[in-house]
Copies of this chain bind each other. A is one copy, B any other.
Amino acid sequence: MAGLGRLIPSARSLLVFEAAARCGSCGAAAREFNVTQPSVSRSIAQLETHLGLLLFTRSVRGLVLTEEGQALYRAVGEGFERIEGALAAIVAARTRKEVVELSFSTAFVTHWFIPRMQRFYRDFPTVDLRFQLISGTLRGPFGNVDLAMRMQPGENTDCHAWEFAPELVVPVCSPAYLRDNGSLEEGCETPHTLLLFADPLQDFARYWGPLRGPRTPASTSVAFSDYAVVVQAAMNGQGIALGWVSAVSHALGQGTLVPASSRRVATGRAYHLMAPRTRPLKDVTLAIRDWLSVEMQADIARISHLLA
């Protein structure tokens, strides 16, 4: 209806009019809109001036609809009822499905998210998370999820992307292992045990290479098929693992892991939280994105002395 916008002074004036007519007073309508009584008074006066007629008569008891006001109120009431019904149906469908699907790595979920999941659900009581878990390196399409963590640039293109954490790698081990075996670049009587993630598609040499020192002794290694298990083994004192900060920041902050070397690898790339454009970008998705970012920033700030 192209004409409707031209017939009223502002889009909101009909909402205000309907509320004032239903409530019978400016004050009551104002409370409903969380504004003050003069605001409603002006809005109604503006609508009446625009239309060139009185919609209400005023008395100390409040507002009484005129004949024209009653005619308009019936039409507006019916029109709004039709629209509200459709909107309510849409919102109800959304509310039933307050499922939010996330695509994260096992390590991130196990060692970063689950420790704070209680606080998450306290902050988001109506959300029901579903995780698509990636065993190790975050890659692959994430299609039908609300939010995913991936590296940028990557193969997923038709999506929103927000930077989340830098790709920063530090060798980590348990405090006991460090005490007993020394750091990665120090000599020790027995070779270090390197805890590896078995990923034929990942060139881990580009990470280990810069981390070895000139006197780094020969080492043994153990490979696991899931990076979350790699991190767990490091926590258990079984060796030294590559620690992607985005996954181990919580453990570093808690002290269950410590740096096993003074060296770091900063790739210059960054993990991003991403949302496909084929899904609606919901308010709750944005709120979760923000929550995750705030938490990650807090973690990184807490362990910044370890990463310098």
- Is A8 a contact of B87 with CB atoms below 8 Å? yes
- Is A53 a contact of B15 with CB atoms below 8 Å? no
Interface residues contributed by chain A, number (CB under 8 Å): 56
User: How far, in Å, is A281 (CB) from chain B's closest CB?
Assistant: 6
Q: Which residues does chain B contribute within 8 Å of A51, judged by CB atoms?
A: 87, 90-91, 94, 280
Interface 9-residue window, one of A78-86, A164-172, A261-269, A292-300: A78-86
- Is B4 a contact of A83 with CB atoms below 8 Å? yes
Task: Return the contact of A7 from the options B18, B52, B84 (Cβ within 8 A).
Answer: B84
A101 at the interface (CB under 8 A from B): no
Q: Which residues does chain B contribute within 8 Å of A87, judged by CB atoms?
A: 4, 7-8, 51, 72, 75
A19 at the interface (CB under 8 A from B): yes
Task: Return the contact of A18 from the options B1, B52, B71 (Cβ within 8 A).
Answer: B1
Roughly how many angstroms separate A68 CA and B279 CA in the complex, as a whole number? 13
Q: Which residues does chain B contribute within 8 Å of A226, judged by CB atoms?
A: none
Task: Return the contact of A53 from the options B10, B12, B280 (Cβ within 8 A).
Answer: B280
Which of A8, A76, A80, A281 has the largest number of chain B CB atoms within 10 A? Answer: A80
Q: Which residues does chain B contribute within 8 Å of A52, judged by CB atoms?
A: 91, 94, 280, 282-284
A33 at the interface (CB under 8 A from B): yes
Q: In the assembly, how many copies of this chain are there?
A: 2
Q: Which residues does chain B contribute within 8 Å of A13, judged by CB atoms?
A: 11
A286 at the interface (CB under 8 A from B): yes
A290 at the interface (CB under 8 A from B): no
- Is B88 a contact of A3 with CB atoms below 8 Å? yes
Supposing A53-B280, A281-B49 touch, asked if A15 and B5 sit within 8 A by C-beta, the answer is yes
Which of A15, A71, A72 has the largest number of chain B CB atoms within 10 A? Answer: A15
Supposing A50-B283, A52-B283, A54-B280 touch, asked if A90 and B76 sit within 8 A by C-beta, the answer is no
- Which residue of B has the minimal Cβ distance to A3? B84
Residues of chain A whose beta carbon lies under 8 Å from any beta carbon of chain B: 1-5, 7-8, 10-15, 18-19, 22, 32-33, 48-54, 58, 68, 71-72, 74-91, 94, 277, 279-284, 286
Given contacts A2-B19, A72-B83, A78-B82, 7 further A-B contacts (CB under 8 A): A1-B80, A1-B83, A2-B32, A4-B80, A11-B14, A71-B86, A82-B82
